[in-house]
Amino acid sequence: ITMGADIIVHSTTKYIGGHCDLIGGAIIISKKEIYEQLAFYQNTVGAIPGPMDCWLVLRGIKTLAIRMEQHTANAITIANYLENQKRVKKVYYPGLLSHPQHQLARKQMKGFGGMISFEIDGDIEIAKKFVTLTRYFSLAESLGGVESLIEHPASMTHASIQEEERLKSGLTDNLIRISVGIENVQDLMQDLDQAFKGIR
């Protein structure tokens, strides 16, 4: 909103909730006329979250700042670790100086979050094998929780998209996405180490 947006849509399921145990979202609006229109639709459609989901969001908000600090600290450590791995072709994380939009991210964000993508040196089968070898990183299609997750977009979240369309979006067959949690970062790096050893 402070940068000029009229509407912000946020998934409270992810970092705000922070524990992968609720489904919800929030819409933040800067203009009264837009708010009134959306409030009408919300009322007529009945798009109201349940009380338990609301309580879980409120619980998550209480620890959001401290969790985000740890997500970011762990992610920058892991992103730097990944940049130095022989089996990694490229790392995508806005907190890295090597990221083409690092300066823009510094300007727009207070932190860089816990999402990292990287291209493993290998084909789709190597990527699929790698994501099954981790022990601390759970193989799952979500993000923003306290637990670290790993996924292979080409065979999971984007499996139904034609390869040509995926490639246009930069979703290569060897791309791996991780949501870095708040666990001990040394444990997470050791987990990735043993997974890299498993594909040699």
Q: What is the pTM of this model?
A: 0.90
The number of beta carbons lying within 10 Å of the beta carbon of residue 90 is 15
Cβ(185)–Cβ(70) under 8 Å? no
DSSP secondary-structure letter at 136?
A: S
Q: What angle do CA 124, 127, 130 make, to 5 degrees?
A: 150
DSSP 12: I
For 2-21, what is each residue's pLDDT tens digit? 888 999 999 999 999 999 99
**What is the share, in percent, of the chain residues with pLDDT greater than 70?**
100
CATH code linked to domain 64-198 = 3.90.1150.10
**What is the torsional sign of CA 38, 60, 176, 129?**
negative
d(CA 39, CA 26): 12
Per-residue pLDDT reduced to its tens digit, 90-141: 999 999 989 988 888 888 888 999 999 999 999 999 999 999 999 999 999 9
d(CA 14, CA 22): 9
pLDDT in tens, 147-191: 999 999 999 999 999 999 999 998 999 999 999 999 999 999 999
Sequence-ordered list of residues with C-beta below 8 angstroms from that of 99, at least 6 positions apart, any chain: 92, 93, 105
Q: Any bridge partners for residue 118, and if so which?
A: 91, 176
> What tokens were used for 36?
């009134």
Write down the domain spans for the chain. Answer: 7-52, 64-198
